[in-house]
């Protein structure tokens, strides 16, 4: 048996319940893990609300980290006692889980399981966005919205680490200070700024930006597009403020042969090699201190609704995690 965070029916946070659930033995290609921490992510909100429809009831959560307690008959890469983490395994918000071994990576010595759990989904997302969706080059300028958020803080560090500049936006001056400390050169508080946001982005950057990383979506999409230089790349990777409505492709023509993409992590984790590359880079940089991850809050399973309320209410910085008794 395990305690698990269950979505009882699609809806708001009151549909969340902590329930006791049976955990079968791991199947031949799974590992069973005693979870130390599970990540709190926007995708959990979309799943709970039914935006990504899933038959209820189901256990929430995508990512986590913990210690292997049993392995399936065909698993050769992991053994009991190994410290592991994953970013994409449905049903991770529980004390004991079975996870496909193919989704699991080792946690480097010296890195806490909490940090590993916090880093997997957002870290690999920031990694593919700057390495693969638009390989950022030194001297470029990138726009990063919600720059003090989970993905945002990692994006700022990875982009500036390549010698590129960042125009950071955020909803408060305190959040902007976080982005500045991580290396963002140009700061805009889009909650208090009441002019033309795209013009302001171009003004502080000194020109149109090369790439716009936009996980805010509905509220910022138009300004992001209008802030790009000719042939720049619009990367819409989420909709924290709502989904972007249908859009006229002629806008890309009028604004100078722009590109637009709506990527998702799954498409950038095509095989085990790609998973080990992205997770290895991120966990390795966290372990050696070249990347910083801010855990903005720790919640027990029973208080998960409070964690999601904070995330959905724009009250968080960095990453929230659910912690399990060990």
- Region near ligand NDP per CB under 6 A, out of 53-61, 150-158, 277-285, 287-295: 150-158
Q: Does 314 bind ligand NDP (CB under 6 A)?
A: yes
- Residue of 168, 238, 283, 321 that binds ligand NDP (CB under 6 A): 238
Identify which of residues 208 and 238 has a Cβ nearer to ligand NDP in the complex: 238
304 by DSSP, 3-state: which? helix
Is 241 an interacting residue with respect to ligand NDP (CB under 6 A)? Answer: yes
CB of 298 to ligand NDP, least distance (A): 15
In degrees rounded to 5, what are phi and psi of residue 175? Answer: -65, -40
Q: How many residues of this chain bind ligand NDP (CB under 6 A)?
A: 29
| Residue 91 or 149 with smaller CB distance to ligand NDP | 149
DSSP-derived secondary structure for 146-215: STTBHHHHHHHHHHHHTT-EEEEEESSHHHHHHHHHTT-SEEEETTT--S-HHHHHHHHHSS-EEEEEES
- Candidates 134-142, 143-151, 197-205, 287-295 — which segment interacts with ligand NDP by CB under 6 A? 143-151
Q: How many CB atoms lie within 10 A of CB 242?
A: 11
316 counts as binding ligand NDP under rule CB under 6 A: yes
The residue with tokens 């209820």 is 56
Strand partners, 85: 65, 105
Which class for 28: exposed (0-12), middle (13-18), buried (19 or more C-beta within 10 A)? Answer: exposed
DSSP state string for 208-246: -EEEEEESS-TTTHHHHHHTEEEEEEEEE---TT-PPPP
Report if residue 123 touches ligand NDP, rule: CB under 6 A. Answer: no
- Contacting range for ligand NDP; rule: CB under 6 A; set: 9-17, 24-32, 90-98, 144-152: 144-152
Q: Does 175 bind ligand NDP (CB under 6 A)?
A: yes
Report, in Å, the least distance between residue 81 CB and ligand NDP. Answer: 30
The residue among 18, 53, 22 whose CA lies nearest residue 304 is 18
Strands 186-189 and 165-170: what pairing? parallel
In the complex with ligand NDP, which residue's Cβ is closer, 104 or 144?
A: 144
150 contacts ligand NDP (rule: CB under 6 A): yes
**Which one, 77 or 312, has the nearer CB to ligand NDP?**
312
Out of 32, 92, 98, 125, name the contact with ligand NDP by CB under 6 A: 125
Reference 310, options 60, 40, 91, 18; nearest CA is 40
Residue 151 or residue 260: which is nearer to ligand NDP going by CB? 151
Residue 107 beta carbon to ligand NDP: minimum distance, rounded to whole angstroms: 20
Burial of 245 per CB tally in 10 Å (0-12, 13-18, 19+) = exposed
Q: Does 324 bind ligand NDP (CB under 6 A)?
A: no
Site residues for ligand NDP, 194-233, by CB under 6 A, read: 215-216, 219
| Dist. CA 82–CA 108, nearest whole Å | 10
Q: What's the token pair of residue 309?
A: 């309320």
Q: Distance between CA atoms of 51 and 306, rounded to whole angstroms?
A: 21
Give the residue, chosen from 32, 98, 122, 140, that forms a contact with ligand NDP under the rule CB under 6 A.
Answer: 122
Residue span binding ligand NDP (CB under 6 A) among the ranges 8-16, 76-84, 108-116, 147-155? 147-155
Give residues in contact with ligand NDP (CB under 6 A).
Answer: 41-42, 121-122, 125, 146, 148-152, 170-171, 175, 215-216, 219, 237-241, 263-265, 311-312, 314, 316
């Amino acid at each position: 048996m395990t305690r698990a965070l269950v979505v009882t029916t699609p809806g708001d946070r009151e549909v969340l319940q902590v329930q006791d659930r049976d955990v079968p033995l791991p199947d031949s290609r799974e590992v069973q893990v005693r979870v130390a921490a599970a990540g709190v992510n926007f995708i959990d909100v979309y799943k709970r609300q039914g935006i990504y429809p899933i038959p209820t009831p189901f256990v929430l959560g995508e990512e986590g980290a913990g210690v292997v307690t049993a392995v399936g008959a065909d698993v050769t890469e992991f053994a009991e006692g190994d410290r592991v983490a994953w970013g994409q395994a449905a049903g991770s918000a529980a004390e004991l889980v079975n996870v496909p071994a193919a989704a699991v990576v080792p946690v480097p010595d010296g890195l806490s399981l909490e940090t590993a759990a916090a880093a997997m989904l957002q870290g690999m997302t920031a990694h593919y966005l700057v390495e693969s969706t638009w390989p950022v080059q030194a001297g470029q300028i990138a726009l990063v919205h919600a720059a003090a958020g989970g993905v945002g803080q990692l994006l700022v560090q990875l982009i500036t680490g390549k010698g590129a500049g960042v125009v950071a936006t955020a909803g408060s001056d305190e959040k902007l200070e976080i982005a500045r400390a991580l290396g963002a050169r140009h700061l805009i508080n889009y909650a208090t700024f009441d002019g033309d946001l795209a013009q302001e982005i171009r003004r502080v950057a000194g020109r149109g930006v090369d790439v716009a990383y936009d996980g805010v979506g509905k509220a910022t999409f138009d300004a992001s597009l209008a802030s790009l230089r000719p042939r720049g790349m619009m990367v819409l990777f989420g909709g924290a403020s709502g989904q972007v409505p249908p859009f006229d492709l002629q806008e890309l023509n009028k604004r100078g042969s722009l590109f637009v993409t709506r990527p998702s992590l799954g498409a950038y984790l095509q095989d085990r090699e790609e998973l080990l590359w992205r997770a290895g880079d991120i966990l390795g940089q966290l372990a050696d201190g070249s990347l910083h991850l801010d855990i903005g809050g720790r919640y027990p399973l029973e208080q998960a609704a409070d964690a999601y309320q904070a995330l959905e209410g724009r009250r968080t910085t960095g990453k929230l995690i659910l912690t399990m008794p060990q």
